[in-house]
Chain A
């Protein structure tokens, strides 16, 4: 089964609002990453958070990691129409190089 599971599967909000997506995983990790995929395109790396970090910021993105709960959240503040995309979390099991992706959250920003 998938290592990462995103929640919700779909999210629709108004432009300017904040969007929060969650990810849960099952095994110990070295780091957790978030990716964005626009329709018909490849995935784009957004941010990486290491297992010894609790929070990380990049522009309008804020990621938190709670290793005790095996969960992470991605917050997009002041959303824009261009943020409409699917968002995936990806984890690497300790000792393994490969990433395992969740099923993703489809985010729709309504103008």
Chain B
């Protein structure tokens, strides 16, 4: 298996632009998680899905952030409009059960 796949790996955008991050979980995993990692705040859970259904989005910072999982093999995290404080590494992780999680390589987002 190729593991969790994220794209793009790096994204540089200007403030106010829309950003879409993509994730393909490991086949057969029924849970998907989106995290954000910064030096100041560490690793924060933004939202997670079970069987494509959002379960907990309490970590989503504000209405500028949205996430979808239209099917078991694809999820997106969208930021619109982006702001400099959104600069971070965004990780997607999937899990076969409610135990160990498998992380993707991350997307490094820079908003100027």
Contacts and interface: CB of A to CB of B under 8 A. Distances in A.
Interface residues of B, number: 21
Contacts of B98: 92, 97
A99 B45 contact: yes
Given A101-B42, A102-B42, A33 B100 contact: yes
Nearest to B39: A103
Interface stretch (A18-26, A42-50, A68-76): A42-50
Q: How large is the interface on A (under 10, 10 to 19, 20 to 34, 35 or more residues)?
A: 20 to 34
Which 10 A-B pairs give the minimum distances between C-beta atoms? Answer: A42-B103, A45-B100, A97-B98, A101-B43, A43-B103, A103-B42, A42-B105, A42-B104, A42-B106, A98-B45
Interface of A: 2, 31, 33, 41-45, 48, 88, 92, 96-104
